[in-house]
Each structure stands twice: as C-alpha cells, then as structure tokens.
Amino acid sequence: MNSEQQDTVLRALNIFAIETPSWGYANTGTRFGKFQQASAATTTEEKFQDAGQVHHFTGCCPTVAVHVLWDFPRGKASTSETKELAAKYGVRVGAINPNVFQDQIYKHGSLGSPEPEARAAAMRHLLDCVEIQHETGSRDLSLWFADGTNFPGSSNIRQRRRWFEEGLREVHEKMSAGQRMLVEYKPFEPAFYHTDIADWGMAYLLSKAAGPLARVLVDTGHHYQAQNIEQIVAWLLHDGMLGGFHFNDRRYADDDLTMGSIDPYQAFRIFHEIAAYEFDTGARADIAYMIDQSHNLKNKVEEMIQTVCFAQETVAKAALVDHGALKVHQEKCDLVAAEEALKDAYNTDVRPVVHEWRKLKGLAPKPLEAFRESGYTDQAERARGQKNREAVASYA
C-alpha cells in the first residue's frame, strides 16, 4: 500500500462511526431458550457501561441505539436519567427504537392490527418515542414493525397497508426538520405467512407516504436467499432514500450473527456501492451505520468489538478501490479487469493501516486483545453473575 492509499484509508476511517445497540449487551437466544452469560448486562446502566467499553477500545462507537421499552422504564420520564447514564460511560444516546411487538395487545399487529385498541396503543407509544427523540436530540427514529399474519385469509392486506400509511403519516407530523424516520423491512419472523413491510419496495412506498423525513433502513439479515443487497443499496442511494443500516450476518434466516462471519465479501460490496456513489456524486452519503446482532453464545462485548473491527477493515478495503480505473474498465466492458479492481482492494490486508489509525488515535492496535487483557469480563461476571443466575428462566 502506497502512502496515498494509506491516507485514503485513514481519511475513510476518520469519518466512520458505527452505533451499537443497548440490547446487544443483554442475554438473547432463540424460541428454544435464552442462552445465559454471567457477565451479560441486564440494566440500562450495565448496557451503557458495556457500550462504553466498546467505544473505549475502538474509538468509533460514540452512540448507542436505545430501546424505549427497556431503556426508558418510565417512558418520557426516564429521558434525562437515561441521557446521564450514557454520559457517565462516555457515550451518547443514538437512535430511538420503539417496541410495538412485545405486549400481548400486539398479537395481531400494531399499526396494522385489525383491533383498534392495538393500533391506538401503538400510536401512543410511537408518539411517546418522538417526544423522547426530541428530548434526547436523537436524529433517528428507527422503526421495525413485527406486523403480519401466519395464515392465508387472516387479514386484509390492503386494509393493513392503509392503516400503516395513516399511522406513519401521523407520527411523521410530530417530527421536525433534522430528524429522520427510518422504516425497516423484513420478509418474515415473527409473522410466517405475510409481513406488512416485507421488502425494500414496501418500506420505500410507506416512507414516501409518511413524509419527507422518512427513509428506508436496510437490515442486512432481512432479505430473501440470494437477493442482491448492494443493488438495493445502490437504488436507494440513487433516490436519496437510504437512511441507515442494521448490520449483522446470516446464513439461513434472520440469524443475527456477527457481521462478516458468514459472507464478508457481501459486506465489502455494500461498502463499495456507497464509496462508488460518493466518488460519482462528490457528495457524502448520509447514512446511519448501526449494528443489530444477537450475541447468543460469544461474549457480548467481545463480539461487538469483533464486529466493529470487521466494519472498519471493510470500510478500509472499500476505500482502496481505484474508482477511476474501475470506471474505465466498466465503460470498455472489460469484465475481468473491472472485477480485479474490486478483488485487488478486497484482497489487501488492511489490518496494518487500521492498526496505524488506532495508534494515531491513542488506541491499542488490537482492540479485542486489549479488551481481553483488561479483565473487564471477569469484573462483570463478579458484579453481575449472581443476579443473572437468579434471573435464569427457561423458555418452556
């Protein structure tokens, strides 16, 4: 890597930040049971404490996505307390994530439920979240709806869409310039026959119906097998409709595995499309990069650091693509040369330059090793273990 390339990578890393989710520090599992870890976070304070560690060792995770139901136990009234807890551990409150799926009232949906009480409850919660968003100064309201049905005939799909359009528009009206509404899509789970916002096209049309502050949120695990995610990213960028990402990896369904653990080249291609857009337009893509994973078995802080390191390395690789040369190959339909331009960047071992960036920031070059050596996990196990063991509850 020549020094110009090195500078390119360092600049790319300088402006890259990625948000970790508070729920990524808590115990999770599958429908067959939650996996328990003695050091897992159960309180909002513990979650911020863990998130603070990730930021401390990586230097690029200054904000934490929060979950209103779990991190704002008294709703709006918890706002200043939650902000202070974040600050205490060196991070800030990031995207506001409502929860309109956990309560039994949402059994048949939230904004799309045939039951008026469910729709009303969802609307109240969403409007509360917008108020919290105003108070925390969070830019993004990040919306995931579990709405859908399990069987043909269960519900009127068009009617549910109308309810969604009305509901999102009503929420949007309470938002202000500078804020954004991110609309996530997902093909299935927990609904198994139809999901109201199943793909990017549905999220796109609902965003347009909601209002000008709405954008599409791409969760990399929420696609059909073989679907080309980077093409969706390119289309959304083209239309100014890409709001952000929930990164994770998957093999089968929404597996919520560590980003890059199954298909690292896929992640590279996504970052390449963003870099190519920025090269072509000269503008910076305005995107919220966020992690959304289920750390079932690995130590949660370690897995988060592993993820952040992978994201940085991928940003670095994408920055190395020679866009000028690529453009020439593409215009000449020189497919081999065009592909090799991507492969050259991807095959480069960028770890040394990422280590260099960390040293420039006063960070340990290998965050995972440094964290392991810090003894934090042992401490957390001692402090939280007893409580966690008592909370053990099987799913059955």
Q: What is the DSSP string of 132-200?
A: HHHHHT-SEEEE----EESSTTSS-HHHHHHHHHHHHHHHHHT--TT-EEEEE--SSSS-SSEETT-SH
Contacting a copy of itself (CB under 8 A), which of 35, 134, 211, 356? Answer: 35
CB of 219 to a copy of itself, least distance (A): 14
Stretch that binds a copy of itself, among 7-15, 124-132, 135-143, 200-208 (CB under 8 A): 200-208
- Cα(165)–Cα(158) distance, integer angstroms: 11
If the CB atoms of residues 140 and 230 are measured against a copy of itself, the closer one turns out to be: 230
Report the DSSP beta bridge partners of residue 131. none
Are 229 and 266 within 8 A, CB to CB?
A: yes
**Could you give the residue ranges of the DSSP H alpha helices within 321-375?**
323-331, 335-347, 351-360, 367-374
Contacting a copy of itself (CB under 8 A), which of 199, 278, 322, 356? Answer: 199
Site string for a copy of itself, 203-222 (x = CB under 8 A): -xx-----------------
Using CB under 8 A as the binding rule, whether residue 328 contacts a copy of itself is answered as no
Using CB under 8 A as the binding rule, whether residue 246 contacts a copy of itself is answered as no
If the CB atoms of residues 139 and 269 are measured against a copy of itself, the closer one turns out to be: 269
Contacting a copy of itself (CB under 8 A), which of 2, 4, 15, 104? Answer: 104
Are 187 and 202 within 8 A, CB to CB?
A: no
CB of 90 to a copy of itself, least distance (A): 24
Restricting to residues 349-388, name those near a copy of itself by CB under 8 A. 349, 351, 368
CA 37 to chain centre: 23
Stretch that binds a copy of itself, among 27-35, 86-94, 126-134, 170-178 (CB under 8 A): 27-35
**Cα–Cα separations (whole angstroms), residue 234 to 41, 44, 78, 106:** 37, 36, 39, 34
- Cα(46)–Cα(187) distance, integer angstroms: 32
Strand ranges (E), 186-287:
194-195, 214-219, 242-247
Contacting a copy of itself (CB under 8 A), which of 2, 4, 15, 32? Answer: 32
Q: Which amino acid is at 311?
A: A
Helix (H, G, I), strand (E, B) or coil at 298: coil
Using CB under 8 A as the binding rule, whether residue 2 contacts a copy of itself is answered as no
- Cα(378)–Cα(14) distance, integer angstroms: 32
With a CB cutoff of 8 Å and minimum separation 6, the contacts of 371 are 53, 57, 301, 302, 305
If the CB atoms of residues 108 and 139 are measured against a copy of itself, the closer one turns out to be: 108
Site string for a copy of itself, 77-96 (x = CB under 8 A): --------------------
CB of 159 to a copy of itself, least distance (A): 8
Restricting to residues 254-283, name those near a copy of itself by CB under 8 A. 255, 257-258, 261-266, 269, 272-273, 276-277, 280
Using CB under 8 A as the binding rule, whether residue 31 contacts a copy of itself is answered as yes
Using CB under 8 A as the binding rule, whether residue 248 contacts a copy of itself is answered as no
